[in-house]
Structure 1
Amino acid sequence: MSVTSAPLVPSSHVVRSSDLSRHSAAVFAAAEDGPVEVTRRDGEALLLVTKREALVHRRVLEVAAQLIAVSLDDDGSLADRLSRQLPWIKLLSPADQEVCARTIIETARGAFVVNEPVRILTEITAWMNTAKAVAAGRGAVDDWLPDAPVVADPRG
């Protein structure tokens, strides 16, 4: 019995292998817009993707492996366990560490359900940038908007 699964990034174009050899420039241009499935009569279909997309796919799998490791660990809070994989979390306040950890896990679950795993990387990057801002002394909103004016609600 074989087990197959859908690719993380579905193919947006399908071409025959003969089209790849006859119209390679057009196929390569299409691959820059998204994955191209190349079908073959004598073998399994191939997927043509950009190197950037392949690297993103690899990074998503690395993050998924880290999150699995966190889920299997039972030593400490969720934030403590996640900080062993993503040490920059410790730059956040204790309350923000917990929010960050929960948000990353919830985003990962949702992103895989809707087949948008890159969203995990976006969430992690946003939190990491927040941690960098905190480390640089930009942790308080008051520092960002001193004496911010109050603006009336435009809806009425």
Structure 2
Amino acid sequence: MATDNAAVNFSELVNKNKQTLARLKESPRLLLHRRDGEDLVLTTATRAEQDRTVVSAATRMLAAVARREPGSMELLLDILPDAFPWVRFLPEPDLHAFAVELVDTMRAADSVNNSASVAQLLIAWQHTAEAHSAPDLLAALTGQHDEDYGQAPDPRHAS
């Protein structure tokens, strides 16, 4: 059984639905490319429920570990760089804030069966780490400039 996702054009699903759907026996998911919209992913209901069960179990285990013992947060902070190498650029207080926010957001997202907030959180924190990795960018974003260029002109009066 193949582990890679198969990809076809959406029109293939419409025009050759039986053959296209048969590909789900070989692949866990079928990526449907659309010409006029966002690509879609097709999977079986059983496989989607299995994926949901695994993510939910991992979320509950992570949350339990993070809250179980006083030293567990330190363990989480120690393993985060293995999962997310970019956290090495975060200052220590931000790393701790990320860990807490990640666990809390994962628990909340699991409770409503919607992981979009977790994905957004990861993207936002990664961008924060990117800013910390570039001193010039960090200075520009935090307003810590060596030079003051004075008041910006009113754009309504620009020629």
| Shorter-chain TM-score range | 0.3 to 0.5
Tell me which of the two structures has the higher relative contact order, counting C-alpha pairs closer than 8 angstroms and 6 or more residues apart: 1
Q: What's the TM-score, normalizing by structure 2?
A: 0.46
Higher helix share: 2
Q: What's the TM-score, normalizing by structure 1?
A: 0.47
